[in-house]
Amino acid sequence: MSIERQEIEKLATLSRIAINESTITEVSQRLSSVLGLVDQLQAVNTEGVDAMSHPMQATQRLREDEVTELNQREALQATAPETEDGLFLVPKVIE
């Protein structure tokens, strides 16, 4: 199965990833080869086999509902490009 140029562009938009015009062909070929692998897997008969959400035979451990993380805003915002009044600033997201 091959992946069309249009689909690459749509995925790039949804993921907010810029893909250079000159690399689209290469990206398309790489993704197509991954999908080829998936095609092979899909050919296997899985009738009667439950879908697996995780490869390990383990179950989720749960946490007690106790506050363990205290305010570390200063440290966490040290690497942020822009902050003001404790807010992270990002390019305006509303028209």
* Contact set with other proteins (CB under 8 A): 10, 14-16, 51, 53-54, 56, 58-69, 71-73, 76-77, 82, 84-94
Nearer to other proteins, 37 or 90 (CB): 90
Nearer to other proteins, 22 or 62 (CB): 62
Long-range contacts of 29-38 (CB under 8 A, 24+ apart): 31/3, 32/1, 32/2, 32/3, 35/1, 35/2, 35/3, 36/1, 38/1
Write down the least CB distance from residue 35 to other proteins, Å: 14
